[in-house]
Structure 1
Amino acid sequence: MVKLLLKALVVSLVIHGAMAAKEPSKKPRYYFPETINGFGYKFDEEGKLRNIETGEGFHFVVKEGSHEYNQLHYEALGEVITKYVYKLLETECMLRRIPVPADAEEDEPQSFVFISEDAMLNTEKLLVLIHGSGVVRAGQWARRLIINDNLKSGTQVPFIQRAVKNGYGVLVMNTNDNVRVVDGQMVKIRESENPERHADHVWNNYIMKAKAKHIAIIAHSYGGVVTTNLFANHEKEFVDRVFAVAMTDSVHFINKSGPYKNLVNVARNWVTSKSLLDTPLQTVPGDIPHYSAGVGQHEMTSWASFKSIFKFLDVMYKKATRSEEMQKPSDRKEL
């Protein structure tokens, strides 16, 4: 009897050992394409994402009854689109990548920002673009708009192209790019551990070293928090050089007792509202003035305010340069 039990135990151990040996290592349950075409889509001439075969727009449901698969499929498509937008910045906007941290070693995890060829050398104007929080990366306002609406409304490409046309050097931040996978582990990127650290490093190592006398900022959603943090950390330099800050549905909070008056004086925040575009709205005392973006959708506020933003930048730039001229000593000789 004992022998039988021992034999059964040995057989059981052998079977379980064999099963354990055959158990696959933990790998992703699903594999997705690495290109937009691989997902069966392409962007048409109007920048709309279309099914290659049917011409229809994006459909979230790929597998009926499997929300997990559909969500992962959507996220994987979004990652591919991020790379596609990076490529647009390089090919359509003629921007190039520079490293974050600025002194990155070749083998260490690093992020990057995009700059125009004249960003560091343009002596007159520099425009800084700051996206919001979440999955968006440099060049994007909203992934959902890129996928479900079009590239114009969802990306920063039209803003960059208009800025270049208007004589600006351009710098595009990448504040959500904070980690890399190293040997299977998530490792934070030095000087880009979070959006505020990223922006602070870019300010110190690139923006403040740029030759532009006049700097403008366009910031969406959490980008407004990043901007107010920059002001708090670099108030003197900010006041000296930043002539305009255009926010779109910013989620910042300004303490009325803080030293934000100089920021408020050069800023405007286009927020979600059913009122007509540019309608002045009630604003908490001491905060950045609110104006209607003319839309009720948070993600759409940047694109909806596009023309108004650049009109605002023009007005503020003229105001800054007039003030600069007035402060110059007169060249006339005393009679």
Structure 2
Amino acid sequence: MEGLNHGTQIPFIKMALQSHGGVIVLNPNDNLVDLKMERERRSFSAGEESVTSTQSCQWIPKRCSSSPEEHTMYHVAFIAHGYGGLVFVDLLVQRKWEVMNQVYSVAFIDSLHNIQHQTGSDPQIQEWILKHCREWVSNSKPLDKAVGSLLKVNCPTVSAGTEKYGLAPSCCLHAVFKYLKSTLKAKTTTAFTRSPIATRGSTSKKRDNK
């Protein structure tokens, strides 16, 4: 027993923080959840009395974390305002496959990016932006109403609900998070339906049938 300074991530986290780095701690081996314990946890959260049961453990894959690979490629979303939109598109160009595989949605707000100029007319990037991004722009139209743009190839563009640039982020705040929530739900639903639910019981049955 050498203590927490050996064999744990704590020294690495401390060093990263001392170097003013950001830290994300992953646990890619934590891929299953005990169905019985999950039900008890939900009952406790809802204020219900837990029911003691002798039912054996039934393990099911965690949603969107059923394997180390899926856990590591977890969901990331960006909200990019003004010049931040240009910076994000530059990141997309520089780290094309990493971004396209790990970012599920982007909300631009009065973004200064220029897709044609920055992407060099890369059809894969332009298709990804069209599918995974939405932009809110300062406009006289009501919030979330479509706004046409002939200036650049872009993702779907809607009104931020105000003509004032400085107020755009706060005016479309709830609309932005509603959009991110809906796109995340669509992604997790698709990923979950593609991953068959397996239990230890079903695995043992398969072995017995061999």
Report the TM-score range of the alignment, normalised by the length of the smaller protein.
0.5 to 0.7
Q: 1:217 to 1:122 in 2, by over 3 A?
A: farther
Give 1:145-160 correspondences, 5 Å limit: none
> Aligned partners of 1:264, 1:299: CA distance in 2, in Å?
26
State the secondary structure of the residue aligned to 2:115. coil
- 1:304: how far off? 0.8
Query: C-alpha offsets along residues 56-97 of structure 1, whole Å, 9 cap, x if unaligned?
Result: xxxxxxxxxxxxxxxxxxxxxxxxxxxxxxxxxxxxxxxxxx
Report deviation, 1:122. 6.7
What residue in structure 2 maps to residue 322 of structure 1? 189
Q: Which residue of 1 aligns with 2:162?
A: 295
Query: Which amino acid is 1:120 matched to?
Result: I
Say which SS state the counterpart of residue 294 (structure 1) adopts: coil
Q: Could you tell me which amino acid in structure 2 is paired with residue 257 of structure 1? A: S
User: In the alignment, which residue of structure 2 is the partner of 1:163?
Assistant: none
How do 1:91-170 residues align onto structure 2 when only pairs under 5 Å count? 120-121=24-25
CA distance in 2, matches of 1:325, 1:318: 10
CA drift of 1:247 comes to 0.9
Of 112, 130, 135, the match for 1:251 = 112
> 1:253 deviation in Å?
0.4
Any gaps of 5 or more consecutive residues in structure 1?
1-97, 105-111, 124-209
Q: Tell me the CA shift for residue 283 of structure 1.
A: 3.4
* SS of equivalent to 2:108: strand
Question: 1:124-148 deviations in whole A, cap 9, x for unaligned?
Answer: xxxxxxxxxxxxxxxxxxxxxxxxx
% same residue: 25
* Higher relative contact order, structure no. (Cα contacts within 8 Å, ≥ 6 residues apart): 2
Higher strand share: 1
Secondary structure of 1:281's counterpart equals: coil
Check whether the contact 2:137–2:168 (CA below 8 A) recurs between aligned residues: yes
Q: CA deviation at 1:287?
A: 0.9
Per-residue deviation, 1:329: 4.2
TM-score by length of 2: 0.57
CA contact (8 A) 1:221 1:251 kept: yes
SS at match of 1:280: coil
Tell me whether 1:278 sits opposite 2:144 in the alignment. yes
CA separation of 1:122 and 1:300: change in aligned 2, threshold 3 A? farther
* Counterpart in the other structure of 1:233: 94
Length-normalised TM-score, structure 1 = 0.37
Question: Please, what is the CA RMSD of the aligned residues?
Answer: 3.2
User: Whose helix fraction is larger, Structure 1's or Structure 2's?
Assistant: 2
Q: Give the letter aligned to residue 128 of structure 2.
A: N
Tell me how far apart the structure 1 counterparts of residues 121 and 73 of structure 2 sit (CA, whole Å).
31
- Out of 213, 223, 229, the position equivalent to 2:74 is 213
Counterpart Cα distance in 1 of 2:104 and 2:136: 17
Q: In structure 1, how many angstroms separate the alpha carbons of the residues matched to 2:176 and 2:134?
A: 9
The separation in 2 between residues aligned to 1:329 and 1:215, in whole angstroms, is 24
List structure 1 runs of 4+ shifted beyond 2 angstroms.
Answer: 283-286, 329-335
The 1-side partners of 2:85 and 2:185 are apart by: 24
Structure 1 distance, partners of 2:149, 2:92, is: 20
Contact 2:139 2:161 in 1 (8 A): yes
Distance change in 2, residues 1:274/1:313 (3 Å)? same
Question: May I ask how many residue pairs the two structures share in their alignment?
Answer: 139
CA–CA separation in structure 2 for the residues paired with 1:283 and 1:217? 22
2:46 matched to which residue of 1? none
